[in-house]
Copies of this chain bind each other. A is one copy, B any other.
Amino acid sequence: MRYAKPLEDLIEEFRKFPSIGPKSAQRMAFTLLKKSPDQVAKFTKIIQDAKSQISYCHSCFNLSSDDLCNICKETSREQNQICVVETVKDLMALERTHEYRGLYHVLGGVISPLDGISADDLNIHALISRVREITQLFSAGKSERNAAIGHQEISLEIILAIGLSTEGEATMLYIKRLLEQLGPVLNIRVTRLAHGLPVGADLDYADEMTLTKALEARVLA
């Protein structure tokens, strides 16, 4: 005995989402059936709108409903800082700190040969082109970006904000090499996030790797 076919199909569709088990999928399907036809029509319209209107920002690959995302459009942001992140979720996590006021570049993942993800599957080359373009604009000395930064000492900082997994480390190293190959046309600083104990964490709950990193990066008290 199973549910009627259209209901089984609906549950099956919800099951395809990550972290949605059979019980959750069933609950979601029932919730959906309880909605009014208008509400269901609104739900499907929102899905279709999101799919048709949302695409990647042409500059930083953030999700956006325009060619340029809201962050890239914001001229008040530091134009000489690019924070390289793995996913749009990581970008949003950094935005929630309200600390960072520069630009971003979303890679769309990390290099992972085991999963068949090479550098070509990510937005790494787009990052290099973007950096090269900025350097050229700088050298031409006639860009708006240039004006925004001012004509004093020109420097560009690339912050690699990628997780410390093996793949993450490899990806950061790869990007760093590519940036170094660009040559010393521009003063590019490549930095990475500090690693150490999370704020409020108990020492004995931290893993060895984190503790090692925290020890290595110790500062004067």
Chain B residues contacting A7 (CB-CB under 8 Å) are 50, 54, 63, 65
Residue from B9, B18, B24, B65 in contact with A19 in the complex, judged by beta carbons closer than 8 Å: B24
Residue from B4, B17, B20, B71 in contact with A64 in the complex, judged by beta carbons closer than 8 Å: B4
Chain B residues contacting A13 (CB-CB under 8 Å) are 43, 46-47
> Which of A30-38, A137-145, A158-166, A176-184 binds B?
A30-38
The answer to whether A218 has its CB under 8 Å from any CB of chain B is: no
Q: Is B89 a contact of A30 with CB atoms below 8 Å? A: yes
Q: Is A71 a contact of B1 with CB atoms below 8 Å? A: yes
Q: Is B50 a contact of A6 with CB atoms below 8 Å? A: yes
Alpha-carbon gap, A167 to B41, bound state (A): 34
Interface positions of A (Cβ within 8 A of B): 1, 3-7, 9-10, 13, 16-20, 24, 26-33, 35, 37, 40-41, 43-44, 46-54, 63-66, 69-71, 88-89, 92, 95-96
A-B contacts besides A1-B96, A40-B51, 17 pairs, CB < 8 Å: A1-B92, A3-B63, A3-B92, A4-B54, A7-B50, A9-B46, A10-B50, A13-B46, A17-B28, A18-B27, A20-B24, A32-B51, A33-B50, A33-B51, A33-B63, A40-B47, A41-B48
